Structure 1
Amino acid sequence: MTSAELRCLRESLGLSIAELAAVLGLDARAAAPGPDEPALAGSARKASPLDRKTINRWERDLQPISKANAEALNRLVVYTDRAVAAIVDEHEPGQPIITYADSVELHAAESGLWATLPAAWHRAVAWRAAQQIPGATISYSS
């Protein structure tokens, strides 16, 4: 993956550099794998999120992404794709998709999400899902 592709991917996920660092540093590595997802054995971070300076270096071609971090990023992409598919499966044509104005609202409503995923990530998911559902609209939760 080139530095430009990494930045495009991060932005398509609705994540800032700091948010991606938090997700990759904690959630993507520590979350239990799904039934059809291999564990990222030995790659869990013990104490703190990934340093956002590291991601900045990846995006500027100053440092290559490690295999463990590439796997964690792939895991986040798979997780996001599944979230989009779940929304598509749950909605009929023309039915509104609910998203969230802020992260507190998101995590109160969607308790199973990785703790560091921000509302911007969910809005990106909602947008992608809406593109696949005829007549779908996106609304904030009440």
Structure 2
Amino acid sequence: MPDYTDPPGMPEDERMTPAELRVVREWLGLTPEWLAQHLGVSARTVRHWEAGKYAIPDGVRLEIGDLEQRTGEFVSGLIGKLMDLPDPGVVTYRDDAEYHTAHPEIPFPASWHRAVIARIAQEVPGLSIAYADAVDRQETARGGGR
């Protein structure tokens, strides 16, 4: 199990609150189960942190900050690629199996990808969003492939 004990010198007033953990987790599109697996703790522990039953170790706060940074970089990168396209469009995925089949290199769940796409849609005017299987059906109907 990972060590999420408080690093030396972390001020008490910077401890992550239960509400902050839940808001950030949901904003990132992560389920308690996915976050628990990522952190190497039980989903029950994540729920207890969010309920305020247990203090959230600062090491967890640091890991959440890392997830936020990585997500922000991913969002910025996609926005940069889409802004110059005349008809920007993205695909998203209904579930984890579909997402990981298409992107086995990305460890995040499909819910994270949908949250990313929502953030991108706020920044890219006229962004078209479709499920991957719908795009596949359209291309097949036109005689194209992927």
Q: TM-score, normalised by structure 1?
A: 0.74
Q: Does 1:75 align with 2:66?
A: yes
- What residue number does 1:107 align with? 100
Number of residues of Structure 1 aligned to a counterpart in Structure 2: 116
> How far is 1:59 from its partner?
0.8
Distance (whole Å) between structure 1 residues aligned to residue 80 and residue 104 of structure 2 = 19
After superposition, give the CA deviation of every residue in 1:27-82 in whole Å (9 maximum; x if it has no partner).
xxxxxxxxxxxxxxxxxxxxxx3111111111111211112221111111111111
> How far is 1:141 from its partner?
0.8
Contact 1:97/1:130 (CA < 8 Å) preserved in 2? Answer: no
More helix by proportion, 1 or 2? 2
Q: 1:7 to 1:76 in 2, by over 3 A?
A: same
Structure whose alpha-carbon radius of gyration is higher: 2
- What residue number does 1:125 align with? 116
After superposition, give the CA deviation of every residue in 1:95-131 in whole Å (9 maximum; x if it has no partner).
11111111122112223212xx211110000110111
1:131 is paired with a residue whose SS is: helix
- What residue number does 1:4 align with? 19
Distance (whole Å) between structure 1 residues aligned to residue 104 and residue 44 of structure 2 = 30
- What residue number does 1:54 align with? 45
Following TM superposition, where does structure 1 have runs of at least 4 consecutive aligned residues deviating by more than 6 angstroms?
A: none
Contact 1:93/1:136 (CA < 8 Å) preserved in 2? Answer: no
- What residue number does 2:141 align with? none
- What residue number does 1:96 align with? 89
Q: TM-score, normalised by structure 2?
A: 0.72
Bigger RCO (CA 8 Å, 6+ sep): 1
> How far is 1:17 from its partner?
1.1
Using the TM superposition, name which of 90-99 and 58-67 deviates more: 90-99
Distance (whole Å) between structure 2 residues aligned to residue 82 and residue 15 of structure 1 = 17
> How far is 1:94 from its partner?
3.8
1:62 is paired with a residue whose SS is: coil
Provide the alpha-carbon RMSD of the alignment. Answer: 1.5
